[in-house]
Structure 1
Amino acid sequence: EPFLEAATRAMRAGRTGYSNGRGEPAVVAALAARYTARRGRPIGTNQVMCLPGTQTTLYAVLRTLVEAGDEVLLGDPMYATYEGLISQTGARVVPVPLRPEHGFRMQVADVAARITPRTRVLFLNTPHNPTGAVLRAEDIRALGDLARAHDLWILSDEVYEDLVFPGVPFASPLDLADLADRVVIASSISKSHAAPGFRSGWCIGPAEFCQRLLPLSETMLFGSQPFIADMTALAVSEPSPVAVGMAERFSRRAGLIGQALDGVAGLRVHQPQAGMFALVDVRATGLSGTAFAASLLERERVAVMPGESFGAGLGGWLRLSLTQTDERIMEATARIAAHAATLLGNAA
């Protein structure tokens, strides 16, 4: 509510004109202070760029970093829009398998095996959508060393940072001062403040990179909305009033799904460490994720996302939302279990 009031006050005060191309000074300063505190090293205002949402931010960053024929290393499974973002730059996606036996955390050996002379960017997503995996500090260190050895940029989408589950530490490549010349992180208030419709995002990176990004941003957008910038400055200057509660609820609901489905009728549940989704492995039923999801909707009236929507690496899996109430989740899991049991019975 305070953020809505801040945006409303700003509009009534006439904050509806053109804005600074880098971002309004107040929000840029607030973001620099936020990341200085969170990452434990100085982040200057010349290292901040504000854009409308994480999606626009990622596209602008990729446009600045790569050109046609370059390669971007990207974990598979992946958030559904990433492949389109990369392909629109003329670059090529090189999938890096994220394996369930490693908790879907990217492994340095899998990355190293796919580096070529055309590789330019290692694209990370931590916390990860759709798996809920969170890279550990040692993962970040190893991946960072590899990126430096091959002169790669690291782009890290960290929009779920504030939805890390209780007790799970968060690490970012931005933590490491020796990687400061090659790391760009992207985020927004969409998840942390449950405000995706405001389209308020940003990136943090080297000052020279941000200066090179500025002409592209101004060409694309000619600035962002000042009244949303005022609201965002307030939002990022203090802990989110909703993120902790969301993380606790989503963690509890992921546990409920695990209790209800893991080991039942051949199903396996991957427990997320962050975010708003849980994964269920349905391969034992003999169906793909797409076929299972379609038959589940038809027969049990339960809607889920098939894992194939997020890349070949999640074939035979489902993504379940943790945003529903506990009661609806328990009803849905009961129907999923019954459907899987029916499929196994038919197969026998």
Structure 2
Amino acid sequence: MKTTSITKRLAGLGGAKWDLHLTARARLERGEDIIEMTIGEPDVPLPQPLAQAAITALQAGRTQYSNGRGEDGLRAALAEVYSTRRGRGFEPDNILCFPGTQTALFAVMQGVAETGDEVLVGDPLYATYEGVIRATGADMVAVPLRAEHGFRMQAGDVAARITPKTRAILLNTPHNPTGAILRRAELEAIAALARAHDIWVISDEVYEELVFDGAEFLSPLALPELADRCIAVSSISKSHAAPGMRSGWAVGPTSFMDALLPVSETMLFGNQPFIADMTEAAVRAGSSVAAGMAQRYGARADGMVTRLETETVLKVNRPEAGMFALVDVSGLGLDGDSFAWALLEETGVAVMPGSSFGEHMRNWVRLALTIDDADMARALDRICTFAQRRAAVSAQDA
């Protein structure tokens, strides 16, 4: 039997990028000594007050159908928080609620691009971005994020790739996998291009509350010049240690949300009211765990820089936010895939090959900062020993 064109457009964009992670997880479940640094699970559980809020709402019968926009209380809470954080007014009708950032991003992309269009996105990029773009029928156009610019998107690189087919620029700030945060001047320069060429700006801001000491986050939503063309997506997955609850949203112009509503209703017709009640409580109270996570992840990144750059030829890109650090392995004469698979086989440490995040990551690997300090110390011991051994072999061969 035949399948549709969307299955062909997305062929090869699914589980293959996670082969190493799945292999490591299977070995871990068999009882092998595996240290998993592949995915970004918060290192704390869902806070008990939020769990209780969901249970209370569930017991109160909050299991009926919702509506396509999302529960009124949650949208009101989000409007208040975004008005405060972004410095301009938002109303509940500026918001649509979805089961997680991924679903929100999928729906938003359906509203801005279609077959024959182009969407610009930074490379490296989060693993699902190509899929959400290609699902619309549009083509993904990679904008290189260069190490010499701290992996932050530069307006000149964007301008060089804009064509009459360009419909949107997909930003991710704070960025996965690099941990980079776009500066005001960089955002303003990109905003000027968006206005000049009548382009949408979509901003994935899921790591907003995991910013490390010394760094500062600015949302494109805060720029008045983007008020009519910027849509942000986010969730409580990272900020409130609730990835499994699947509760997210999109924020943008009311006219866009009105137009997107039938898409949302066709996809899912509202998410779960009891989870929306829990999310409203989370949004109104603020996160009790985000600051601690940011402090720990930043400290682990610093420790990784010290160990790997002192004891090996590996180079670490020190992140400004998020759950990950990138490591350049080219000094060993290996690409990221070869390094990651050899590291797993020889030491039991599982890291993500950079190729899972774009062409510009071929010589890099991504390491999660979310494992506890003891496991991090053990992992760094093993990585240092592995890198030293490989460097010694290379020196002998030379």
| Structural mapping, 1:120-139, within 5 Å | 120-139=167-186
Q: Distance in 2 between matches of 1:122 and 1:292?
A: 32
2:209 partner SS:
helix
Amino acid across the alignment from 1:241? S
* C-alpha contact 1:39 1:174 (8 A) present in aligned 2: yes
Per-residue CA deviation, residues 112-139 of structure 1 (Å, 9 max, x unaligned), is: 0000110000000000001000111111
* Matched pairs, number: 348
Q: RMSD of the alignment, in Å?
A: 0.9
What secondary structure is seen at the aligned counterpart in 1 of 2:90?
coil
Which residue number corresponds to residue 13 of structure 1?
Answer: 60
- Contact 2:205 2:232 (8 Å CA) reproduced: yes
Residues 136-193 of structure 1: CA deviation (Å, up to 9, x unaligned): 1111111111111111000000000011112311101100112100000000000001
What are the residue-to-residue correspondences of 1:180-329 with 2, within 5 Å?
180-329=227-376
Contact 1:260 1:330 in 2 (8 A): no
1:268-306 deviations in Å (ceiling 9; x for gaps): 110000001111110011111000011111111111111
1:28-81, CA deviations, whole angstroms, 9 ceiling, x for partnerless residues? Answer: 000000000000110111101101100000000000111111100000000001
Alignment of 1:83-122 (within 5 A): 83-122=130-169
Give 3-state SS (helix, strand or coil) of 1:161's partner. coil
Deviates more, 1:263-272 or 1:50-59: 263-272
Whether 1:60 and 2:107 are equivalent positions in the alignment is yes
Gaps of 5+ in 1: none
CA distance in 1, matches of 2:323, 2:210: 8
CA displacement 1:189-235 (0-9 Å, x = unmatched): 00001101111000100000000010010011011110011111110
1:339 deviation in Å? 1.2
User: Displacement, 1:264?
Assistant: 3.5
Structure-2 residue corresponding to 1:45? 92
1:284-335 superposed Cα distances (whole Å, 9 cap, x missing partner)? 1111100001111111111111111111111111111111112211221121
Distance between the aligned counterparts of 1:227 and 1:81, measured in 2?
A: 28
1:26 is paired with a residue whose SS is helix
Task: For 1:290 and 1:20, locate their aligned partners in 2 and report how far apart those are by CA, in whole Å.
Answer: 45
CA distance in 1, matches of 2:359, 2:101: 24
After TM superposition, the score normalised by the length of structure 1 is 0.99
* One-letter code aligned to 1:301: G
1:170 equivalent in structure 2: 217
Q: For 1:100 and 1:330, locate their aligned partners in 2 and report how far apart those are by CA, in whole Å.
A: 26
In structure 2, distance between residues paired with 1:247 and 1:148: 34
Q: Distance in 2 between matches of 1:244 and 1:35?
A: 19
User: How many angstroms apart in 1 are the aligned matches of 2:225 and 2:161?
Assistant: 24
Match for residue 69 of structure 1? Answer: 116
Tell me if the contact between 2:210 and 2:321 (Cα under 8 Å) persists in the aligned partners: yes
Q: Percent identity?
A: 58
d(CA) in 1 for partners of 2:196 and 2:385?
51
Deviating above 3 A after TM superposition, structure 1's stretches of 4 or more consecutive aligned residues are: none
The answer to whether residue 197 in structure 2 is matched with residue 150 in structure 1 is yes
| Aligned partner letter, 1:284 | G
The runs of 5 or more residues in structure 2 that have no matched partner are: 1-47
Further displaced range: 327-336 or 137-146: 327-336
Deviation at 1:336, TM superposition (A): 1.1
SS at match of 1:74: strand
Question: Do the aligned residues in 1 keep the contact of 2:191 with 2:225 (CA within 8 Å)?
Answer: no
Aligned with residue 207 of structure 2, among 160, 175, 188: 160
> Which amino acid in structure 2 is aligned with residue 172 of structure 1?
S
Partner in structure 1 of residue 82 of structure 2: 35
